[in-house]
Amino acid sequence: MCLAIPAQVVELREGDQAVIDLAGVRKEISLALVEDVWPGDYVIVHVGYALQKLDPREAEKTLALFAGLAESGAAA
Protein backbone atom coordinates (compact mmCIF):
# COMPACT_ATOMS: atom_id res chain seq x y z
CA MET A 1 0.00 0.00 0.00
CA CYS A 2 1.40 3.27 -1.03
CA LEU A 3 1.32 5.64 1.90
CA ALA A 4 -0.44 8.92 1.19
CA ILE A 5 2.08 11.31 2.71
CA PRO A 6 0.98 14.90 2.10
CA ALA A 7 3.49 16.93 0.09
CA GLN A 8 3.52 20.72 0.05
CA VAL A 9 3.80 22.58 -3.24
CA VAL A 10 6.79 24.93 -3.06
CA GLU A 11 7.04 26.36 -6.55
CA LEU A 12 5.11 26.24 -9.83
CA ARG A 13 7.08 25.66 -13.02
CA GLU A 14 6.25 25.70 -16.70
CA GLY A 15 4.31 22.94 -18.39
CA ASP A 16 2.14 21.96 -15.41
CA GLN A 17 5.24 21.05 -13.38
CA ALA A 18 5.82 21.94 -9.75
CA VAL A 19 8.39 21.48 -7.01
CA ILE A 20 7.06 19.79 -3.89
CA ASP A 21 8.46 19.18 -0.44
CA LEU A 22 7.82 15.64 0.77
CA ALA A 23 9.04 15.23 4.34
CA GLY A 24 11.99 17.53 3.68
CA VAL A 25 12.87 16.08 0.25
CA ARG A 26 12.27 18.30 -2.81
CA LYS A 27 11.10 16.77 -6.07
CA GLU A 28 9.71 18.00 -9.35
CA ILE A 29 6.32 16.51 -10.19
CA SER A 30 3.47 17.03 -12.67
CA LEU A 31 0.24 18.82 -11.80
CA ALA A 32 -1.47 17.63 -15.00
CA LEU A 33 -4.00 15.48 -13.12
CA VAL A 34 -5.15 18.10 -10.60
CA GLU A 35 -6.68 21.54 -10.95
CA ASP A 36 -6.28 24.80 -9.12
CA VAL A 37 -3.13 24.00 -7.15
CA TRP A 38 -0.94 26.82 -5.81
CA PRO A 39 2.26 27.12 -3.73
CA GLY A 40 1.45 26.25 -0.14
CA ASP A 41 -1.24 23.71 -1.08
CA TYR A 42 -0.90 20.09 -0.03
CA VAL A 43 -1.14 17.28 -2.54
CA ILE A 44 -0.78 13.50 -2.58
CA VAL A 45 1.92 12.41 -5.01
CA HIS A 46 2.35 9.09 -6.79
CA VAL A 47 5.13 8.22 -9.27
CA GLY A 48 5.69 11.78 -10.37
CA TYR A 49 2.09 13.02 -10.49
CA ALA A 50 0.01 14.91 -7.95
CA LEU A 51 -3.09 12.73 -7.51
CA GLN A 52 -5.24 14.86 -5.32
CA LYS A 53 -5.33 18.22 -3.57
CA LEU A 54 -5.86 17.97 0.17
CA ASP A 55 -7.72 20.09 2.64
CA PRO A 56 -4.87 21.77 4.59
CA ARG A 57 -6.31 20.78 7.97
CA GLU A 58 -6.60 17.14 6.91
CA ALA A 59 -3.07 17.25 5.50
CA GLU A 60 -1.66 18.61 8.75
CA LYS A 61 -3.50 15.94 10.73
CA THR A 62 -2.08 13.17 8.52
CA LEU A 63 1.43 14.65 8.74
CA ALA A 64 1.14 14.71 12.53
CA LEU A 65 0.17 11.02 12.48
CA PHE A 66 3.24 10.09 10.47
CA ALA A 67 5.47 12.31 12.63
CA GLY A 68 4.17 10.58 15.77
CA LEU A 69 5.00 7.21 14.24
CA ALA A 70 8.50 8.24 13.25
CA GLU A 71 9.16 9.41 16.82
CA SER A 72 7.89 6.18 18.33
CA GLY A 73 10.01 4.19 15.86
CA ALA A 74 6.96 2.21 14.75
CA ALA A 75 7.47 3.04 11.10
CA ALA A 76 10.96 1.55 10.99
Partner 1 sequence: MAIEGELVVSIAAAAGRVTRAEARAERPRVAGALFRGRRAAEAAPLAGALFALCGRAQSIAAGAAVEAARGEEPGARRRIARDTAIAAETAQEHAWRLLVDWPVLAGLPPEVEALAAGRKAIAPLLAADEGLDPAPAARAVRDWAEEAVFGSRPGHFLRLASANDLLAWAREGRTGVARLAAKVLAGDAGLGASGVDFLPPGGGAALARELALAIEGDEGFDDTPHWRGKPRETGPLARMAGHPLVADALATWGRGVGARLSARLVETALALVSLDTARGEGHGHGALALGSGSAIAWVETARGLLLHRAALDGERIAAWRIVAPTEWNFHPEGAFSRGALGLAAGDAPGLERRVRWLVASLDPCVGVRYEAGHA
Own/partner contacts of 18-21, CB < 8 Å, gap of 24 or more, are 18/50, 20/45, 20/50
Smallest separation (angstroms) from partner 1 to the CB of 59: 9
Smallest separation (angstroms) from partner 1 to the CB of 13: 16
47 touches partner 1 by CB under 8 A? yes
**Alpha carbon 12 to chain centroid distance?**
14
Rg for the chain (alpha carbons), in Å? 13
- Kindly identify the residues of this chain, within the stretch 54-73, that bind partner 1 according to CB under 8 A: 58, 61-62, 65-66, 69, 72
Q: Count the site residues for partner 1 by CB under 8 A.
A: 28
